[in-house]
Structure 1
Amino acid sequence: MDAIGTARVPDHPTVQAALSLARRAPSVHNTQPWRWVFDGHRLHLHRDTSRQLFSADPQGRQLTISCGAILDHTRTAFEAAGWNTEVIRLPDTAPDHLAIVDFAPATEVSDTVRARAAAIEQRYTDRLPMLPPRGWDRVEPGLRAAAGARGAQLEILGDSARLRLAAASARSAALREYDPQYLNELHWWAGNNSPADGVPISALVSAAEAAQVGVGRAFPTAPPSLRRGELTDASRLLVLGSATDNPLDWLRAGEALSAVLLDCTVAGMATCPLTHITEVPVSRRAIANLLPEPAIPQVVIRVGTAPTAAAQPPTPRRTVTDFLELHRGG
């Protein structure tokens, strides 16, 4: 139901349509660790700990960041459909209840909101080497503002930090190289062709291409891409951080991640979120030491230009009925 009318809350088909779009949100290993409940008036976001990576993410930090990403995607989808949203974060003591979304009809939908909603289906995680981002000086202030509006801090690493960040990434991989639980978890979620979740082979890169990037997670390798050739990565390296390190910070970092990725997509840029470097404390401290301003790193983001048009098919997503509970009685 279009909100620009007499309705006070969205109906069930509108909720389903908005979440069908928002489910394209990024999540760690494409686990999609969220559960939604619509009680007829408000939308409730819960963590789904059955989809948690207990080896890579024992605290559920990346799980909560992932839920923050779909929260912002969901607000964008509703705003494009004519609904203003207000969020109550961590509304009670239940650890899995992350947010409540309230609705009010909008009087108009801006072109900016429409563009961000369209970017949801255009965005993808590009793990291949990139060219420098075009128009960066024009886009950077808006990215900082979008992150700040969502309670996170966005810092841009200088070119001199790339080798040190690559060293931190390699250190994280070395610490996990002989961890059977981590490796089993990684191979369960990546390199398979599940129709609903995980990272498919089509989204992975060859060993040579991964080496050209230098800062990516050590995923299972795939055949070489036909669209890149020999290219050393020249992406910008961004860090989303926070002043403290608790579930509210993680949720807000996920919301900021969503906003930065969508705004980069609108600007025609390719993106790749990286969380593996922040999984290991020693590597996380190394990133913090690279930042121009004090912050606790939550997510690193590569931003650049894809040399050719993307040929990667969409990564799989669960159906809305898999993660949405509708209360018909309202």
Structure 2
Amino acid sequence: MRILVVGAGAVGGYFGGRLAAAGRDVTFLVRPGRAAELQSAGLVIKSGRGDLTLRDVKTVQAEAITEPFDLILLSCKAYSLDDAIASFAPAVGPNTTILPLLNGMGHIDVLAEKFGAARVLGGLCVIAATLNREREIVHLNDAASLTLGELEGGLSERVQAITEQLTVPGFHVSASDATLLRMWEKWVFLATLAASTCLFRASVGDILGAPDGRRVIEAMLGECRAVAQHNGFTMGPDFDARANQMLFTPSPLTASMLRDVENHARTEADHVLGDLLQRGGPAQQRDAGLSLLRLAYNHLKAYELREARSA
């Protein structure tokens, strides 16, 4: 199976690097600057699951793609989706499968409209990773997993074959017969974490230490869950257990969106929070009052305006 990994940043580089190290046929679609870095220093992963340096990494640039790939692993930021689609479109053939690992749900609609729903899987990843100053991929904790499945549910032969190809050391992969629900669960959790930590500019532990911090996180989680419920997705006991452990246990946990704000970088506010508001039904419409979720979203939009003015 020929696999094209779009980008070699923290997420694509980690999963693609592990696949390549295990002998899978992996090519990274990168810009010239990143290609030069990989040629010079290799693809370097620093991780508690094992450090890795890959030499002779296979790379390609968009204009050099001459034939389709079997699987496209897409892990760009949501705001870069249009540019990513333009770059990997020449790699999409009649039998190509696209596995996106983006946050939220809006990208599914965009990819299905562009390439046809039959070519698009549902997918999500759980990992905390970043690029350091040396452009090495730094895995920040032990979590590293991929989940994939058909958008309409069920376990197809295609999903089982891809899952087998993706099963390598360094991360856990699983096929799900309810991938859309898993994606909504991640979205609800991520939106709660991002909205809370960005609004307070603080970690979960610091928020919980504030007089009303726990109440704010509880209310934010309730609002996000209500949006999922409005769209037909109900979070179950397993989600409750995971969310309670992550959101209500004092820890240094923050959302990557807060790190973006602290680094004066672009955020996925529109895709993680704004799109959730758009799908929220009457409870989240503009005339329904200023909810905590809407307050957090506007907080981030004001940040964007300030950054644009400074630039």
Scaled to the shorter chain, the TM-score interval is under 0.3
Hey, which of these two has a bigger chunk of helix by percent? 2
> Normalised by the size of structure 1, how large is the TM-score?
0.24
> Normalised by the size of structure 2, how large is the TM-score?
0.25
Q: Kindly indicate whether structure 1 or structure 2 has the higher relative contact order, using CA contacts under 8 Å at least 6 residues apart.
A: 1
